[in-house]
């Protein structure tokens, strides 16, 4: 008896779903070198252009000189350093909540929060387009797990009627593959009416959304009472790494006591927290980054509509172009790459079957001229690709 891994790999290749890692040979930014080729990239989540910012790099350097490199232990043993504590306090203040708790990755923050809050006898209700980490967390929690129709408060209300025990409603703030945003006011209303808690993973909202970059909760003007559990990641608009959960004193203390992915892992490097403190300062003070990004989003959407591309309903930096067939999406991505443009094809199982797409992400580090180069490339490649063959 042995695992037949080669057959599984061959099947994935045959379905145009095989994944390969591009090798980045430069820092993140619009102009990169990938697999030895200089490219103009539209596929990273560095929305405010902070991942290679000189002040953030300098803060990391100074942090390493002062605090060393490794975290050394878990937060609960001796790994909770001064910079970690200062960053938690700054993130609490930024989100307008009593406390925040640092996690090493967004995946761990989601696993930690959901599994600490609900278990057997309880209920987790999730948007069916939620990020994989949220779905995995729901399944691992041992609670009764159900998915409501995408961004549909009426569908959520029906499932809330049947919920038992403590009930946690979980949604992405910005959906990472579609770029649309959760209808938080409606979801919060339904959750509150049934005494359920609402948890929002705003990984892609912090930075681009809200008057001060405070994400979807700031965008809608909601309170901690509306959204008791708020999750953010630091590897996207913040330009560094890690994640946090923000909420009440009781919530954060409960996570410290019961969230296994928090308790049983080494803390992030203290110098990383120093870098994130600097990026948080830039995110809050340099409003031009958000304004410029919004200008580019409008430019891209207008240009794409003129070409006749099928866009999704998104005003965020995530601008998917719907293709449908996975093979066509891969071909289009390759054609763009031959023109020096890097845009990733997203295929099942990341997105539903038949909804393969090119996922364009824009950042404050891009220029209007670079966005125009992308639009020119898309216009040429779509013309060459021709209409999709009918399956009659």
The answer on whether 84 is annotated among ligand-binding residues is: no
Enumerate the H helices of 141-239 as residue ranges.
Answer: 153-161, 184-193, 215-220
Residue 130 and residue 104 in contact, taking contact as beta carbons nearer than 8 Å:
no
| Inter-residue contact 319 to 346 (CB < 8 Å) | no
Query: Which tokens sit at 48?
Result: 């405010």
Which alpha helices (DSSP H) does 68-169 contain, by range? Answer: 82-95, 106-117, 132-140, 153-161
For 37, other C-beta atoms within 10 Å of its C-beta total: 13
357 annotated ligand-binding residue: no
Q: Where are the beta strands (DSSP E) in the chain?
A: 31-34, 37-41, 99-103, 123-127, 144-148, 167-172, 197-201, 229-233, 243-247, 318-324, 341-342, 344-346, 356-361
Euclidean distance between CA atoms 129 and 173, whole angstroms? 11
Residues serving a catalytic function are: 176, 204, 236
The response to whether 19 counts as a known ligand-binding position is yes
CB 136 within 8 A of CB 111: yes
Q: Specify the residue for token string 């975290």.
A: 71
Longest dimension (CA), the chain: 67
Q: Please give the Cα distance from 191 to 195 (Å, whole number).
A: 6
106 is annotated as contributing to ligand binding: yes
Does the annotation place 324 within a ligand binding site?
no
Instruction: Tell whether residue 150 is among the known ligand binding residues.
Output: no
Enumerate the β-bridge partners of residue 200. Answer: 171, 230
Residue 378's alpha-carbon distances to 53, 238, 275, 330, 372, in angstroms, are 29, 29, 36, 14, 10
- Token pair in block for residue 264: 């049983």
Residue list, annotated binding site: 19, 106-107, 131, 176, 204, 233, 350
Residue list, annotated binding site for substrate: 19, 131, 350
Residue list, annotated binding site for pyridoxal 5'-phosphate: 106-107, 176, 204, 233
């Amino acid at each position: 008896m042995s695992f037949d891994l080669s057959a599984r790999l061959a099947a994935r290749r045959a379905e145009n779903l095989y994944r390969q890692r591009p090798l980045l040979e430069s820092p993140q930014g619009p102009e990169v070198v990938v697999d030895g080729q200089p490219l103009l990239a539209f596929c990273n989540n560095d929305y405010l252009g902070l991942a290679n910012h000189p002040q953030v790099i300098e803060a990391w350097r100074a942090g390493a000189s002062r605090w060393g490199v490794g975290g050394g232990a878990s937060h609960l043993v001796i790994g909770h350093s001064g910079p970690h504590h200062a960053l938690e306090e700054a993130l609490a203040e930024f989100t307008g909540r009593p406390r925040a708790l640092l996690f090493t990755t967004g995946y761990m923050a989601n696993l930690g929060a959901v599994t600490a809050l609900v278990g057997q006898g309880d209920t987790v209700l999730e948007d069916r387009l939620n990020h994989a980490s949220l779905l995995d967390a729901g399944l691992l929690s041992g609670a009764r797990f159900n998915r409501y129709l995408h961004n549909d408060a009426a569908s959520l209300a029906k499932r809330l009627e049947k919920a038992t025990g403590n009930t946690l409603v979980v949604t992405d703030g910005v959906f990472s593959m579609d770029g649309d945003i959760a209808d938080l006011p409606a979801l919060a209303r339904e959750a509150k009416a049934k005494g359920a808690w609402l948890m929002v993973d705003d990984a892609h909202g912090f930075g681009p959304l809200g008057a001060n970059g405070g994400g979807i909760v700031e965008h809608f003007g909601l309170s901690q009472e509306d959204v008791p559990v708020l999750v953010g990641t630091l590897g996207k608009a913040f330009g560094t790494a890690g994640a946090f959960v923000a909420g009440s004193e009781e919530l954060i203390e409960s996570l410290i006591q019961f969230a296994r992915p928090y308790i049983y892992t080494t803390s992030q490097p203290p110098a990383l927290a120093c870098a994130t403190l600097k990026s948080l300062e830039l995110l809050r003070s340099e409003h031009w980054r958000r304004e410029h990004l919004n200008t580019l989003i409008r430019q891209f959407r207008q240009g794409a509509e003129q070409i006749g591309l099928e866009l999704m309903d998104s005003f965020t930096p995530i601008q998917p172009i719907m293709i449908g067939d996975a093979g066509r999406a891969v071909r289009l991505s390759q054609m763009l790459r031959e023109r020096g443009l890097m845009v990733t094809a997203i295929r099942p199982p990341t997105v539903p079957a038949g909804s393969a797409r090119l996922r364009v992400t824009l950042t404050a580090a891009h220029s209007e001229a670079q966005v125009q180069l992308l639009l020119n490339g898309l216009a040429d490649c779509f013309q060459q690709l021709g209409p999709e063959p009918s399956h009659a």
